[in-house]
Amino acid sequence: MSYRLYNFSMKEIFYGGRKNMSKFDYGDFGDGDCDTEFVAHAKKYTKEEVIKLFVIQDEWNMERYGLRKPTVADIREDTVRYYPIAPEFYFNVEKGEPTYGFTTKGERGSFPVWVIDFDNLKVKHILTKGETKC
Beta-bridge partners for 76: 115
- DSSP letters, 55-94, are HHHTHHHHHHHTBPPP-GGGEEEEEEEEESS--TT-TTS-
Name the 3-class secondary structure at 6: coil
- As a residue count, the chain comes to 134
Q: What is the pLDDT along the chain (134 residues), one digit of tens a residue?
A: 333 333 343 434 443 433 334 478 999 988 777 888 999 999 999 999 999 999 999 998 888 888 999 999 999 999 999 888 777 666 555 666 788 888 899 998 899 999 999 999 988 655 566 666 66
- Sorted by where each begins, the domain ranges of the chain are 7-121
Q: How far apart are CA 114 and CA 117, in angstroms?
A: 10
